[in-house]
Chain A
């Protein structure tokens, strides 16, 4: 069974950098696609991008291209989402999710990482 476990909540100041993680305890990390989804406070879901850890093939939503970096370390079955300079508008819950093997919907989700950016 795929289980995605995310890193804990973060409180940061504007301009700081941050890297959050998503560890996949399943056995098929290098053949799974792992996506990141943002949910701003009281709002809906937004797909940010997706990575294939097997070869690090990464695709971004145009809305997030250049704003974040998605990466993965297959040796420790972990995917990452990082910012080089946070803004207050990055305050949100961030979920990682596993894409189904056949189509681009998400059949397993992490518990979420809350990121608060405030001066």
Chain B
């Protein structure tokens, strides 16, 4: 199985901050990576796929980059609605696997 490791597990930030979350794969996954946002008590919501393609309707302050084994999700200017957990997911091979998650908290 491909292991996905996210860092940090928790991040404290303020509104307006630039935030970066890292996701590392245990082997190369090319650009077959998705990012999701999950708010408490809600289902995950797709933000980005193919490492850097923004899902329709997702604000442009979200961006993704990377290929191979190292990926990042960046929020250019954190908004109150962005305090949530974020997960990466590889889809290069089964079983599909998710990172352990990053919780973005209010500083």
Interface-centre pick from A47, A62, A63, A112 (highest chain B CB count, 10 A): A47
A-facing residues in B48-96 (Cβ within 8 Å): 49-50, 55, 87, 89, 91, 94-96
> Among the listed A35, A45, A97, A103, which residue makes an inter-chain contact with B49, where contact means beta carbons less than 8 Å apart?
A103
Interface: B19 (CB within 8 A): no
Contact across chains for A106 and B46 when beta carbons are under 8 A apart: yes
> Among the listed B87, B91, B101, which residue makes an inter-chain contact with A104, where contact means beta carbons less than 8 Å apart?
B91
Interface: B34 (CB within 8 A): yes
Q: Which chain A residue has the least Cβ–Cβ distance from B96?
A: A47
Interface: A109 (CB within 8 A): yes
> Among the listed A37, A59, A105, which residue makes an inter-chain contact with B34, where contact means beta carbons less than 8 Å apart?
A105
Contact across chains for B44 and A63 when beta carbons are under 8 A apart: no
Determine the distance from Cα of A107 to Cα of B46 in the docked complex, in whole angstroms. Answer: 6
Contact across chains for B94 and A109 when beta carbons are under 8 A apart: no
Contact across chains for B96 and A104 when beta carbons are under 8 A apart: yes
Interface: A25 (CB within 8 A): no
Contact across chains for B55 and A107 when beta carbons are under 8 A apart: yes
Interface: A82 (CB within 8 A): no
Contact across chains for B95 and A106 when beta carbons are under 8 A apart: no
- Residues in B with CB closer than 8 Å to A100 are 49
Interface: B28 (CB within 8 A): no
Determine the distance from Cα of A86 to Cα of B44 in the docked complex, in whole angstroms. Answer: 25
Contact across chains for B45 and A47 when beta carbons are under 8 A apart: no
B-facing residues in A84-106 (Cβ within 8 Å): 95, 97, 100, 103-106
Q: Mark A27-58, 1 if CB is under 8 A from B, else 0.
A: 00000000101000000111100000000000
B residues sitting closer than 8 Å to A (CB atoms) are 1, 32, 34, 36, 42-46, 49-50, 55, 87, 89, 91, 94-101
> What are 8 sample pairs from A and B whose C-beta atoms fall under 8 A apart?
A37-B44, A44-B87, A45-B101, A61-B96, A62-B95, A103-B49, A106-B46, A109-B45
A residues sitting closer than 8 Å to B (CB atoms) are 35, 37, 44-47, 59, 61-63, 95, 97, 100, 103-107, 109-112
